[in-house]
């Protein structure tokens, strides 16, 4: 999978994909992340990419021209499955969207800044608008990092059995069960007996039960398919 990220702050995204699972995904050739500084593609002087909004009001808007130039430059090289705009008024991001995206070949992610981007870019180029939650970030970069990380780990071949996404919270619509490691007795706080029983059937049943319990307590809406509780 190839992800092209359009940003005015590429520095913000230089580190997130160079560690741990993302690093491995790239090393295995399963994930490519390309950062593009929008300022390098503006036809305006001094790297201008934003301007005052028509109709007045505080806050700058990202101009359509630099975005269109860069998107079309990328589209000349390959066909993109999605052009995603990161914005707080986008569709709320969840594991289902992450799964869907992980099966795409080429994706562009546009990081919004200031008041957002000229609406004509949304109308004529953008195919998908994503928000990562009901709070406002100063730019789309950190949100884009969240999306790339969650998608990257789902690309077939990235995770091995040990780190398998099958047991993640949300993957089966439920929260993950509690986990324990050595020592079996820490300050008198003991690991649940079943986990050291050596009976895989009992362990599976216990984990399922704990998942259900946790989900019912913390996110009851998940059990009713009502993700937006």
- Using CB under 6 A as the binding rule, the residues of this chain from 119 to 148 that contact ligand 6GU are 130-133, 135-137, 139-140, 143
Which residues, at least 6 apart from 112, have a Cβ–Cβ distance to it below 8 Å? Answer: 62, 85, 86, 87, 139, 140
Q: Which two tokens stand for residue 214?
A: 């946790």
Give 112 or 152: the residue with its C-beta nearer to ligand 6GU.
Answer: 112
- 16 binding ligand 6GU? (CB under 6 A): no
When the beta carbons of 117 and 158 are compared against ligand 6GU, the nearer one is 117
Number of residues that bind ligand 6GU (CB under 6 A): 14
Within 142-181, the residues that bind ligand 6GU by CB under 6 A are 143
What are the residues whose beta carbons fall under 8 Å from the beta carbon of 216, sequence distance 6 or more?
223
Q: Which of residues 94-113 bind ligand 6GU (CB under 6 A)?
A: 112
Instruction: Report, in Å, the least distance between residue 190 CB and ligand 6GU.
Output: 41
Does 70 help bind ligand 6GU (rule: CB under 6 A)?
A: no
Choice between 110 and 174, CB closer to ligand 6GU: 110
Distance CA 37, CA 60 (A): 18
Long-range contacts of 15-24 (CB under 8 A, 24+ apart): 16/145, 16/148, 16/149, 17/145, 17/148, 17/149, 17/152, 21/149, 21/152, 21/153, 21/158, 21/159, 21/163, 22/148, 22/149, 22/152, 22/153, 24/158
Closer residue to ligand 6GU, CB minimum distance, 64 or 88:
88
Does position 87 bind ligand 6GU by CB under 6 A? yes
Query: Within 13 Å of residue 92, how many CA atoms lie on the same side as its CB?
Result: 7
CA–CA separation, 220 and 73 (whole Å):
46
Nearer to ligand 6GU, 143 or 154 (CB): 143
- Among 5-13, 85-93, 180-188, 201-209, which window interacts with ligand 6GU (CB under 6 A)? 85-93
CB 36 within 8 A of CB 69: no
Contacting positions for ligand 6GU (CB under 6 A): 86-88, 112, 130-133, 135-137, 139-140, 143
């Amino acid at each position: 999978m190839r992800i092209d990220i359009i940003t005015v702050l590429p520095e913000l995204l230089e580190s997130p994909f160079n560690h741990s699972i993302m690093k491995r995904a790239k090393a295995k050739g399963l994930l490519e992340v390309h950062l593009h500084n929008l300022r390098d593609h503006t036809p305006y002087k001094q790297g201008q990419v934003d301007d005052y909004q028509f109709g007045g009001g505080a806050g700058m808007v990202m101009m359509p021209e630099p975005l269109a130039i860069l998107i079309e430059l990328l589209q000349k090289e390959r066909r993109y499955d999605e052009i995603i705009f990161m914005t707080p008024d986008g569709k709320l991001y969840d594991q289902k969207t992450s799964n869907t995206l992980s099966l795409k070949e080429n994706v562009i992610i546009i990081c919004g800044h200031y008041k957002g981007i000229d609406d004509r870019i949304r109308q004529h180029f953008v195919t998908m608008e994503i928000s990562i939650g009901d709070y406002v970030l100063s730019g789309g970069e950190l949100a884009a990092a969240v999306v790339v990380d969650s998608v990257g780990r789902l690309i077939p071949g990235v995770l091995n059995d040990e780190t398998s996404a099958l047991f993640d919270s949300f993957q089966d619509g439920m929260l993950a069960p509690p986990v324990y490691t050595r020592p079996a007795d820490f300050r008198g706080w003991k690991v649940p007996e079943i986990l050291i029983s050596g009976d895989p059937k009992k362990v599976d049943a216990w984990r399922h039960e704990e998942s259900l319990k946790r989900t019912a307590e913390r996110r009851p809406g998940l059990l009713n398919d009502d993700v937006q509780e």
